[in-house]
Amino acid sequence: MSARPQTSAELGKSHDRHRRVRKIALTAGVALGALVLAAGCKPVAGKPAPHPPHLPTTTTIVPAPTSAPTDSTEPTTTTTSAPPTTTVSSATPPVSTTVKPRPTSTGTAPVPPPSGSLPANTVPAVGQVGYRGDRAKLKVVDGPGSAPPGTTWNSGALRFSGNVTLDGYYIKGGIEYNGKGTLTIRNSVIEGNHNSWSPILGNSGHVDVRDSTITYKDDQWPGDKWGNGAIHGDATVTVIRCDISGTPDGIQNGPGNSQIEQSYIHDLLRAGTYPNNTHNDGIQSYGGPNTVIKYNRIDISADGKAYDGTHQNGAVFIMSSDDGPTSGLQVVGNYLAGGGYILRIGASAKGAVVTDNRFGTTAGGFGEVFVDAGAQIASWVNNLSSSNKMINQPR
């Protein structure tokens, strides 16, 4: 491969071309999801092709008597209002539903992680975040017979829309959210399979996931050129204290206006040989505004190397946007490891804040940071290499 990485602008143009191809395929009835086409040495990643959504509904799915943990040090969440969408439905759910699922065989509600176990403004240690309770006490959903009322199990994925809360669940399949409200997930395990393009696929609205584990363990892929994130799509997201692994990317986010904090992204799927290989990113943003990435542990390195020569692109990759400036970007206080360049920032970034990050080894790669020409960094302070040396601001 060439030692020169593609710029975010080059990648964005390829990304737009492939999005148009997917729209044509979707019109023909082909459910493609989001594909990564191995073109060159760096990723060309797409957003998911949405499935038909359902009528909005408000559903709360909580095994009694447990409720979501409260934490006085809870980070400030990002809230957004997604644009209205036209919806269709194969069934007419009630306008508002509160679901109390049958108790598990043990008769004991799941135990949430200790409130405040991870202090604010700190990077989690391995094993410190995600669902940390007894998985045997979670309510298992693995087919139509176990799908909670108000939801639909469709070929390996739990589908719904509206305002939905899942608390204390083990979903053995994907989640596809098509609403214009908020999908809230607490104290749960989401384990995707080859019938779902992502463990959590948010096509619209807002997805708020905390204290949960999101992974993929199926040996079979959804498609031969699969490149999705564990949390993926055109929904805005809030992801706090989650453990994310097993997919080609950790999080892919389209619109921005999202917060990713105190989560652990690791052990991504490295597969294939050039040119048909995964191109892994811990977080890949398509350049939307107001993306906040704070106090995460993002490690996509392998075998003591940041880059194995084929797979890892970047721990954080902020693509350039053709839709306007990427304003409000914050990359603060993280541990970042893995990638040809560990942190990549596209040309549309304006006023970015990059402070107090610690970087892993650059062995096998090109360096810690690559910033496209035209990007504007407002604050670059106290970013340290693996040898504890100050990293100069890229020019």
pLDDT in tens, the chain (395 residues): 333 344 444 444 344 433 333 332 323 332 333 333 222 233 333 333 333 333 233 444 444 333 333 333 444 433 333 333 322 222 333 333 323 333 333 333 444 444 457 999 999 999 999 999 999 999 999 999 999 877 899 888 999 888 999 999 999 999 999 989 999 999 999 999 988 889 999 999 999 999 999 999 888 888 777 789 999 999 999 999 999 999 999 999 999 999 999 999 999 999 888 888 899 999 999 999 999 999 999 999 999 999 999 999 999 999 999 888 999 999 999 999 999 999 999 999 999 999 999 999 999 999 999 999 999 999 999 999 999 999 999 98
User: Residues 213, 122, 124, 280: is their CA dihedral positive or negative?
Assistant: positive
In this prediction, residue 272 carries a pLDDT of: 86
Domain boundaries, the chain: 8-67+76-81+92-381
In this prediction, residue 275 carries a pLDDT of: 85
Whether 180 and 163 have beta carbons less than 8 Å apart is answered as: no
Encoded tokens for 375: 């990007």
